[in-house]
Structure 1
Amino acid sequence: MTDIQLHRPGKLGNPDLVIRDDPRADRRLVAALDTMQMAGDPPVYINASTPLEGIRQYLKAAEEGSVEFFESSVAGMPPVKGVTTTVEKIVGVDGNEITLFIHHPTGVDGPVPGVLHLHGGGMCILDAEGPLYTRWRNDLAAKKMVVIGVEFRNATGRLGVHPFPAGLNDVSSALRWVSKHKARLGISKLVISGDSGGANLGLAATLKAKRDDRLHEVDGVYALCPYISNSYVNKRPELQSLYENDGLYTPLAVVAATAIAYDPDGENATNPLAWPYHASEADLEGLPPHAISVNELDPFRDEGLAYYRKLQAAGVPSRARMVIGTCHAAEINFMKAIPDVYHATLSDIAVFAYSL
């Protein structure tokens, strides 16, 4: 039998590959990355060996440096019509104040689905108030849904140093408040949704709701590019994308350091409430419907797909989609470069929410 040379994608076939030269990459995305000098090897200034204070300082600086990027991501886009926004302040289980940004569609009769939105940033940085996620929530609300953005505590950065489980506690507090006020908010069914670290918190909050006998508060979960395995130093061989896509926009050395900022003592390395990938079948049984969306060129791709398969094995109604040709969270971060992908993702979340 003739030997067959199988193609090995990404860095499995070429360890020196950069996203600019990856034939799988959406060329529009590559062009956008090139204009920002982000299409080559990403710089790596921290790793799992960096002292904790150094990690925190770097992440805070990265957060400050992201302001211009996120402003440019939405600059020049027309305003979203048919949406009004209010702000609510609530008190969380830890006694801290939590800000909720509530986006209502106008001209809607009767209750509509609600989305409890959790921003990305690896549970460590970024915020709900910035222009990128404000735009995202407005566009979701324009799909005739009530969208609530949660300003949860991060593990480091501008909002202070609040490692696990602070952010999760805030999300759970917001979930409880929204669930209690669904009638006033005009919400029928409630979906938790977030990207990256926000997806982690959404999945974890659902697991926590089950443990706390509050699962009735969650009608569905839509997780985008979930960051959930904590396998970024000792990579799990079953998660091929950790090898295949490391450094294609997202360097795992930096990710591993970010995970340390979230759980500095490493006491929760396999705790499903910190890293939902480690949930058992018993943890997952009885959960509400889930949708998992992953990016083809994302190191986290396969942990998202693995979680989907675990949900299936546990009998949870679930579906998955892969956004071809894109790096981590590209459908949000590069909405102007790939607008069709951006709007397809918004529509998919709305279809999921209205199906419940």
Structure 2
Amino acid sequence: MSHKELPDKSKLTSGTARDFGGAPIAMAENSQLSKYSELGKPTEEWEEFYAAHADEVPVLVGSPEHMRKIMVDLKQRAQSQVSPITQGLKVHDVQMPTSDGASISLRIYQPMSEETLRPGLFYVHGGGWTLGDLEGEDLTCRAMCVRAGVVVVSVDYRLAPEHPFPRGTEDSWEALQWTVKNQKDLRIRENSLIIGGSSSGGHTTAVLSHRVKNGSLLIKGSIMRIPSVCHIDRYPAHLGLHSLEELKDAPLLSKRSMELFYGYLNPPDTSDPEASPLLNPSFLGHPPTYLQVAGMDPLRDEGLAYADKLRNAGVPVKVDVYPGLPHAFGYFPKLTAAKKNADDLISGIKWLLAGAR
């Protein structure tokens, strides 16, 4: 579903119940509805999946330790259902010193091919700035490397709340600079680097995309998958970002999840564009961007608003929307939509590498 096909207004009325594949979830009476409300209606496939596997679909709430265990279990279950790509690439980890005297890990995925140099993709994993590691999106990084023919550099940035804002962003920024500096040794072709990430990694991607607008680094494109791009206390009223309330009890990621994640991140100024990249005063010079947005995701409306900001600034943008599916539905690989989501990601990478045409 392309962005231009999105509904202009919702056919739903306030106060109705929304069933997300389980018990009905009531919306607040007299709440304002998003113009994209229709996208939140669960698909038949999701309803059937949830009915059979409700115990496998958590909601991320609680302490960081509790949510980290939930995420590890979720990722291990997903990885047990998919065979990792082991042929056609080589994978190794390196340690990168950071500006504060520590070090972080980077995982390098390189295609096994006769070509001397390949395009590059710098990737930031998701997890609400609080969860995740190099293992969590290893399957995705392997697929991007082999199927899109790119060298992938995945960053194991430090997590909140142990390392609050902006440490994770700075780790990622320094790792991006390291990647550019070492692109020849990494067999990355000059001026071919894409940056990307999922969820909170999409947030970091947005921040880095604005940092490179001044030409300090030449980036060919950005990939933002189910991104968070604005602190939930700073939604601009005129943008009509209502999915957070409409889908506040959605599976996996709820409004409470986002309240906790932003609390753990703890940015001192929530209106700072580095905490809320949607609030950047200008999007001119932003790299061409490919976005993926889930229709039943509380973050849906802010992702689509970011796409509108890009389009209004004349930035080439491609959006794939997945109606009726929750945040991070790719962790349920049995879904047909999860397979399409993975295929679309490869197509999005190739679109950026082809000059976003």
TM-score, structure 1 as length reference: 0.83
Structure 1 residues 286 and 43, CA gap change in structure 2 (3 angstroms)? closer
Q: Which residue of 1 aligns with 2:42?
A: 25
Q: Deviations over 1:147-201 (max 9, x none)?
A: 1110001113xxxx00111000011011101111222222231111111000001
Structure 1 residues 350 and 254, CA gap change in structure 2 (3 angstroms)? closer
Say whether the 8 Å CA contact 1:206–1:215 is kept in structure 2. Answer: no
Structure 1 residues 45 and 72, CA gap change in structure 2 (3 angstroms)? closer
CA distance in 2, matches of 1:322, 1:209: 27
Q: Which residue of 2 aligns with 1:177?
A: 178
Structure 1 residues 43 and 178, CA gap change in structure 2 (3 angstroms)? closer
Q: Which residue of 2 aligns with 1:51?
A: none
**Amino acid corresponding to residue 112 of structure 1 in structure 2:** R
Say whether the 8 Å CA contact 1:245–1:297 is kept in structure 2. Answer: yes
Counterpart selection for 1:149 from 142, 147, 154: 154
Q: Which residue of 1 aligns with 2:246?
A: 244
Say whether the 8 Å CA contact 1:221–1:291 is kept in structure 2. Answer: yes
Structure 1 residues 162 and 34, CA gap change in structure 2 (3 angstroms)? farther
Shift of 1:126: 1.3
Say whether the 8 Å CA contact 1:244–1:299 is kept in structure 2. Answer: yes
CA distance in 1, matches of 2:184, 2:53: 45
**Amino acid corresponding to residue 123 of structure 1 in structure 2:** W
Q: Which residue of 1 aligns with 2:7?
A: none
Q: Which residue of 2 aligns with 1:256?
A: 259
1:139 maps onto 2:167 in alignment: no
Q: Which residue of 1 aligns with 2:37?
A: none
- Worse overlay, 237-246 or 290-299: 237-246
Say whether the 8 Å CA contact 1:298–1:326 is kept in structure 2. Answer: yes
Structure 1 residues 91 and 74, CA gap change in structure 2 (3 angstroms)? same
Say whether the 8 Å CA contact 1:7–1:13 is kept in structure 2. Answer: no
Structure 1 residues 93 and 215, CA gap change in structure 2 (3 angstroms)? same
Q: Which residue of 2 aligns with 1:267?
A: 268
Say whether the 8 Å CA contact 1:115–1:192 is kept in structure 2. Answer: yes
Shift of 1:304: 0.7
Counterpart selection for 2:70 from 65, 72, 94: 65
CA distance in 1, matches of 2:60, 2:188: 44
Instruction: Report SS of the residue matched to 2:185.
Output: helix
Say whether the 8 Å CA contact 1:18–1:39 is kept in structure 2. Answer: no
Shift of 1:68: 2.0
CA distance in 2, matches of 1:269, 1:38: 35
Say whether the 8 Å CA contact 1:120–1:194 is kept in structure 2. Answer: yes
Say whether the 8 Å CA contact 1:215–1:287 is kept in structure 2. Answer: no
Structure 1 residues 44 and 146, CA gap change in structure 2 (3 angstroms)? closer
Structure 1 residues 13 and 37, CA gap change in structure 2 (3 angstroms)? same
Structure 1 residues 244 and 38, CA gap change in structure 2 (3 angstroms)? farther
Instruction: Report SS of the residue matched to 1:37.
Output: helix
Q: Deviations over 1:71-98 (max 9, x none)?
A: 1101142331212101111112222212
- Worse overlay, 64-73 or 12-21: 12-21
**Structure 1 residues 201-240: aligned runs within 5 Å:** 201-210=204-213, 214-216=216-218, 218-231=219-232, 236=237, 238-240=240-242
Q: Deviations over 1:12-61 (max 9, x none)?
A: 46245333479932333334434442599x76865xxxxxxxxxxx1221
- Worse overlay, 337-346 or 116-125: 337-346
**Amino acid corresponding to residue 294 of structure 1 in structure 2:** V
CA distance in 1, matches of 2:268, 2:73: 35
Shift of 1:353: 3.6
Count of paired positions:
325
**Structure 1 residues 5-154: aligned runs within 5 Å:** 7-8=11-12, 12=14, 14-15=16-17, 17-20=19-22, 24-37=41-54, 58-80=63-85, 81-128=87-134, 130=135, 132-143=136-147, 144-154=149-159
Instruction: Report SS of the residue matched to 2:119.
Output: strand
Structure 1: unaligned runs, 5 residues or longer = 1-5, 47-57
Q: Which residue of 1 aligns with 2:317?
A: 318
CA distance in 1, matches of 2:79, 2:47: 18
Structure 1 residues 228 and 43, CA gap change in structure 2 (3 angstroms)? same
Counterpart selection for 2:333 from 335, 346, 349: 335
Structure 1 residues 72 and 43, CA gap change in structure 2 (3 angstroms)? closer
Deviating above 3 A after TM superposition, structure 1's stretches of 4 or more consecutive aligned residues are 19-24, 26-36, 42-46, 232-237
- Aligned-residue Cα RMSD (Å) equals 2.6
Structure 2: unaligned runs, 5 residues or longer = 1-9, 25-39
CA distance in 1, matches of 2:305, 2:236: 14
TM-score, structure 2 as length reference: 0.83
Instruction: Report SS of the residue matched to 1:182.
Output: coil
